[in-house]
Amino acid sequence: MSKKRDHLERYIALGVFFAAVCLIFIARLINIQIAGQDYYTETLRTGNLTRTVKIRAQRGCIYDRNGKALVSNQYTYDIYLDAGSIGRTESEKNETVLYLLETARNADEYDSFTLPEHPFVSENGKWSLDEDYMKTVYGKRLSKLLQGMNFVPEAADDGGNVTWSTASVADMRDALRLRYGLCDKEGKELYGKEEAELLFTVRLDMEMHNFSTAEPYTILKDVSVRLISAATEGNIRGLGVCCEAERVYNYPGIASHMLGRTGKITAENADYYTEKGYNLDAIVGTSGAEKAFEEYLHGEDGVLTIVEDEYGNTVDQYVSKEPVAGQDVYLTLDIDFQAAAETALKSNIELIASNAEASGVELSGEDAKAGALTAVNRKTGEVLALVSYPTYDLTTFTEDYKELSEDTENIPLLFRALDGIYEPGSTFKPGVAVAALQEGIITPYSEIQDKGQYDYYAPSFTPRCWIYSAKYGMQTHGMVNVSKAIQVSCNYFFYDVGRRLTITKMNEYCKKYGLGEHTGIELDEKTGVLAGPAEREASGNTWYDGDTLQAAIGQSDNLFTPLQISMYISTLLNGGERVGAHILKEVRDYNGNITYTAEPEMLDSVALDPGNVSTVKYAMKDVVEDGSAARIFASYPISIGGKTGTAQVSSTKSDNALFTAFAPFDDPEIVATCIIENGANGTDAGFAIRDIFNVYFGIGSNTADADADSDGADNG
C-alpha cells in the first residue's frame, strides 16, 4: 500500500509540474501575442512589412525675362540613414554611423560630413544650453523631448519657449547619452571619448530631425560614386542613396539681394509651413525671389513605397506617388541690364569719393560708400533693375556670412533699394507742385519772390532758401514760377506753396502717388514714412506749422525707399494712375508651358490734369538741359526729364545725393532713381542714371569717369 501511495504522490507531483509548465507556456504565449505585441511586431514579425519614404521634388529655377537661367539646380548624391531598415538596437545604430564616417575618412571624403550643431556647451567644467539653438525649431523640439523624459523646466511661456535650470543640464546630457547607448546604466563608457562625442552629436541631431521610417536622415552630402560603392560593400543595414539638388547661382554677385536664398524652416515660421503640409526638414525660400515665389518653386514631394521581408530585406519598392517638380519663375529684369546698373552705381560711388578726396573739401562726398538704384517700366510697373551697394556673392554667402553680418558700417546685407529709407529731398517737389496746381493754389504762371529767408512764422521759425545760405545772404532766386522753382530747386517757393496747400491736402496727394505705401512688389519692402501730424502724434510728439514747410521740400519726417520714388514719378507721368511695381513676369511648368502671366495692377488713382502734369514734366526737362544736371546730360542724344535732391544726414557726414529721371521725354518708358549715401551733391548721383540710360537705349559707352566736374552748387 505504501508503494502505491508513493506512486500516486509522484503522479500528482508530475501532474502539478506539467500543469505549471503548461501555464508558463500559456502565459508566455499570451505575452507574446497580446501584451508583448510591440516586441512581437518589431523583432519577431513574420510576412512582409510595407513602409513609405518621401521623394524630394525638384525645386523650380529662376530666369530673367529673356530666359537666361539666374538660379538653377546642381544634382548631387547623398547617403542617408533609413529608420525602417537600420539595426534596432542603439549599438547597431551607433556602429552604422561610425562605419559610414570611417568609410568616408578612408575615401578622403570626410568633408562630405558636416558636424551638426547641438546646444550642450561646456565651460569651466559646467554644462549649459546654447540660447540661440534653443530658440530654433530644434531647440523647442529638444525641450519637448526633455520634458517627456521627466525633466521639469524652470519656466515656460505660451509660445513654447522653455527656460532650463543650468544645474540640470549635466543630468540631461547624461540621460541622453544613456538613451543613445553611449554608456550603460552605471555610467560606464562604451566608446572612446572622441567617438562618444561624435555619436552624441549625430544621434541627437537625428532625433531632432524626426528620424523615422517616414523621415530619413542625410548624413553624408555630395558624395562620389566611389564612396557609395565602398559604403555599400560592408552590407550594413539602414543605408540609402538619394539624388539631391543644390542651388547654383549662374551670375555670382549679381542681383544677390533680389534673388535671395533658400534654407531650413526656422522656429518662427514652423507653424506656417506645417499648416501648408511641409516637413520641418524641407528647404524653403528665406529671402528675395526665392521666398516671394515659394508657392511656385517648391513643388510637391513624392512617395516611395518599400516592401521588406521578416528579416528587413527589401523585396520590392515602387513609386506610389510621383513627385511634382516646382515651376520655373521668370522675372521682369534683364540680367545684363541689372549687371550694368550694378557697375554704374559702384562706379558712381567711387567717382564721388575719389573726387572729394582730391578736392580736399570736407564733407564733399569723401565718405560715400553705399547706395541704391532702381529702374522701372513706368507704364507696366515692371522692375527692370534693383541695385544695392555694397552687395555680396550668393555662391560664397555661407562662408562670408559672419563677416557680412558684422559689417555694421557698410551693412552689405541691407537691401537698400527696398529696405533703405531716405529723405527724398527735392525729388519730392514735383509731387507737391502737381498737387498745388491741381488745387488751384498756384497756376503755371504764378510767381513768388524768393526773399531768401521765409518769415511767415517769424520770429519762431524762419527757414532759408538753400541759395541764400550758400551765398551768405547775398543772393536769392528772385521772382520764380513753378517751372523755375523746380529747375533751380527753390526752397522758398515750396515753403510758401506747402503752407498754403496744407499738410492734409499735401499728404492726400502723396498717398495717391504711393509715398509711404507699399509699391506692390512681391518682395519684402519697407513702406517708409509720410510726414504729417498722424505720424508725429503716433510717436508721442507734436506737429507744428513749421513742419509743413520742411515737409514740402522733402524733409521733416519724410522717409522713402528708392523704389517708392521711382514709382511716385511713374504715377505723375501716368496722369495719376498708380500701377503696382512687380518683379514676376510669368511662371512655367516643368514642360515649359506658361501657367501664370503677371499683369499690371492698378493700386490707386487720382485724376491729374494733363496740363498740370505737362508743366511739371517740362520743368524736369529744364533741370537736365539748363539746370544743375546739365553738366552731366549736356548734348545727350535723347530728351529726358529729371530732378536732383540733396538731403542732410548729420553735421559730421556728407549729405545724401539723389537723382530721379525718366526717358524718353515725349513718351517715357523707363523711370530710374539713384540714391548715394553721403554723396554730397544730388547732381552727382546722375552719372549712374546716365550710364543705365546709355545701356537701355543702346547709346554707347559713356561710363562715369573723371570727366565729371563737381563744380556748381546743387542743394536741391
> What CATH number has the domain bearing residue 121?
3.90.1310.10
Distance CA 639, CA 633 (A): 9
Asked if residue 470 belongs to a domain, the reply is yes
C-alpha cell of 491?
526752397
Residues 23 and 113 in one domain: no
Q: Nearest-CA neighbor of 684 among 648, 647, 713, 657? A: 657
> How many CA within 13 A on the CB side of residue 678?
19
Q: Assess contact for 113 and 220: CB atoms under 8 A.
A: yes
Residues 39 and 59 in one domain: no
Q: What secondary structure does DSSP assign to 57-73, as a single string?
A: PPPPPEE-TTS-EEEEE
Asked if residue 705 belongs to a domain, the reply is no
Distance CA 347, CA 611 (A): 38
Residues 271 and 238 in one domain: yes
The helix (H) or strand (E) run that includes residue 384 is strand 383-389
The helix (H) or strand (E) run that includes residue 605 is strand 602-605
CA distances from 376 to 22, 68, 272, 508, 562 (A): 88, 20, 33, 24, 11
Residues 616 and 657 in one domain: yes
Length of the chain: 716
Distance CA 52, CA 616 (A): 67
CA distances from 150 to 144, 153, 176, 492 (A): 10, 10, 12, 74
Asked if residue 709 belongs to a domain, the reply is no
Average pLDDT, the chain: 89
DSSP helix/strand/coil, 183 = strand
Phi, psi dihedrals of residue 478, rounded to the nearest 5°: 70, -145
CA distances from 357 to 346, 363, 365, 371, 629 (A): 17, 10, 8, 18, 22
Phi, psi dihedrals of residue 148, rounded to the nearest 5°: -70, -20
Please give the residue range of the domain that contains residue 26. 2-44
Residues 172 and 97 in one domain: yes
- Number of domains making up the chain: 3
pLDDT at res. 24: 37
Q: Nearest-CA neighbor of 450 among 481, 480, 472? A: 480
**Amino acid (one-letter) located at 194:** E
Distance CA 220, CA 22 (A): 53
Q: Assess contact for 219 and 200: CB atoms under 8 A.
A: no
Cis bond upstream, residue 637 (ω within 30) = no
DSSP 8-state class, residue 337: H
165 Ramachandran zone, left/alpha/beta (phi>0; psi -120 to 50): beta
Asked if residue 706 belongs to a domain, the reply is no
Distance CA 577, CA 604 (A): 6
Asked if residue 710 belongs to a domain, the reply is no
Residues paired with 449 in a beta bridge: 479
3-state secondary structure 276-291: CCCCCCCEEECCHHHH
Q: Nearest-CA neighbor of 521 among 384, 634, 697? A: 384
DSSP helix/strand/coil, 76 = strand
Residues 184 and 148 in one domain: yes
pLDDT at res. 46: 55
Residues 20 and 117 in one domain: no
Distance CA 425, CA 647 (A): 5
Q: Nearest-CA neighbor of 563 among 382, 706, 686? A: 382
Residues 186 and 89 in one domain: yes
Distance CA 286, CA 461 (A): 48
Alpha-helix residue ranges (DSSP H) falling in 454-544: 466-470, 482-488, 491-501, 503-513, 533-538
Asked if residue 716 belongs to a domain, the reply is no
Q: Assess contact for 708 and 691: CB atoms under 8 A.
A: no
Residues 31 and 57 in one domain: no
- What CATH number does residue 598 fall under? 3.40.710.10
Distance CA 160, CA 143 (A): 9
pLDDT at res. 312: 62
DSSP 8-state class, residue 50: E
Buried residues in 412-427 as b, exposed as e (16+ CB within 10 A): bbebbbbbbbbbbbbb
Asked if residue 172 belongs to a domain, the reply is yes
Residues 617 and 529 in one domain: yes
Asked if residue 637 belongs to a domain, the reply is yes
The helix (H) or strand (E) run that includes residue 677 is strand 670-677
Pick out the chain residues at pLDDT < 70.
1-46, 159-160, 311-313, 701-716
The helix (H) or strand (E) run that includes residue 416 is helix 416-419
Q: Assess contact for 679 and 349: CB atoms under 8 A.
A: yes
Residues 639 and 585 in one domain: yes
Residues 387 and 319 in one domain: no
Whether this prediction's pTM lies above 0.85 is answered by no
